[in-house]
Amino acid sequence: MIHPTAVVDSRAKIDSDVEIGPYAVIARDVQIHAGTIIGSHVTIDQDTTIGSDCKIFQHAAIGAVPQALKYQGERTFLRIGRGTTIREFVTIHRGTAFGGGMTEIGEENFLMAYTHIAHDCFTGRKVIFANAASLGGHIRVGDCATLGAFVAVHQFVRVGNYAFVGAMSGVSKDIPPYVLASGSPRAKLYGLNVIGLKRHDFVRETIVALKRAYRILFRFGLTLNEAIERVTAEVDQLPEIANLLAFIKSSERGVTR
């Protein structure tokens, strides 16, 4: 159902069972898939694709041009995954040509009010952004990560799978997978995200191995290269340990410790 006051461009592709509320504006070349509900006064700009069963609440602004001085109006895109909830006043921007041309929100994300996702960001599945969490450009956030209220993440930073970043934190370096981080102006690590791991059904063997790896990597006073060698030699090489080490080895901005 499309409310009669909504403005929908004739070049948009809207599935028949999509709901669009009063005074919403849907631009050209937008695709909205089945079961999605668009609230009142939502703006969805061009070249945005929204998956099925999403909920976008009133006054969200989705798919606007990026806040990047090098952007020159080139055609770029935004893709939002199935089952994602976007609350009031959230802003999400399209990609840039110099950053790959795509911003992508994964499936089943939950973006609370005033969240901001800048150009060329990528989020995995089941990511949670609390109120007013903000991503600069070119950021990657892994599956099942959580960012607390008013977290600010610097451009080009990565946040690993199952990481939890506490409210009001400033994130200027990569946050490894599976950890707790918090702090202002710069976040620091405060241990393993044990509660989060248990909620996602990680088995005891995996949690014990991750705890051992965490202590070696971040609490023994070793260089990262020394710590990686010890973890490789002393900790069972479960898939999660391999993922943790690969994340650290591939860091370009440096790893939060």
Helix (H, G, I), strand (E, B) or coil at 219: coil
Measured from the Cβ of residue 254, the count of other Cβ atoms closer than 10 Å reads 12
Task: Say which of 120, 142, 148, 166 is annotated catalytic.
Answer: 120
Q: Write the CB contacts of 185 (distance below 8 Å, at least 6 apart in sequence).
A: 170
120 assigned to active site: yes
Q: How far apart are CA 24 and CA 178, in angstroms?
A: 39
How do 158-159 and 140-141 pair as beta strands?
parallel
Q: Which two tokens stand for residue 169?
A: 């934190």
174 assigned to active site: no
User: Which residue has 């050209």 as its token pair?
Assistant: 28
Q: How far apart are CA 233 and CA 92, in angstroms?
A: 43
Q: How far apart are CA 257 and CA 28, in angstroms?
A: 45
Q: Which two tokens stand for residue 1?
A: 């159902």
Nearest to 139 by CA among 181, 189, 103: 103
119 assigned to active site: yes
Task: Say which of 21, 106, 137, 142 is annotated catalytic.
Answer: 137
Task: Say which of 106, 119, 138, 174 is annotated catalytic.
Answer: 119
Q: Just list the catalytic residues.
A: 119-120, 137
